[in-house]
Amino acid sequence: MLKSYEAYYDNGKLNWLGVPPHISKAKVIVVVEEDESDNIHDQSIKQLKGIAPKPDRAVSLEDMEAAIQNEGAKL
């Protein structure tokens, strides 16, 4: 089964934009999105601005990570 994860590549290292996959070894297919920008990570965050509704209470990092893992879960 194929699963996709988002990361950016920097000097030979993958930096995961979310929770990294829980695997120790795997065959991978790499698709490169060429970007002239120096700051890919900040650009990805800016693309997400305004997508999620503002929560009505304070939200912990753990709550945010759980919501991201549940794809679209409401806080």
Element of type H or E holding 40: helix 40-48
Length of the chain measured in residues: 75
Q: Is the pLDDT of residue 72 over 60?
A: no
Give 16 or 50, the one with higher predicted confidence: 16
Q: Is the pLDDT of residue 75 over 60?
A: no
- Tell me the per-residue pLDDT of 6-46, one tens digit each, with 9 for 90 and over: 888 888 888 888 888 888 898 888 888 776 555 555 556 66
Q: Is the pLDDT of residue 48 over 80?
A: no
Q: How far apart are CA 22 and CA 47, in angstroms?
A: 26
Give 27 or 70, the one with higher predicted confidence: 27
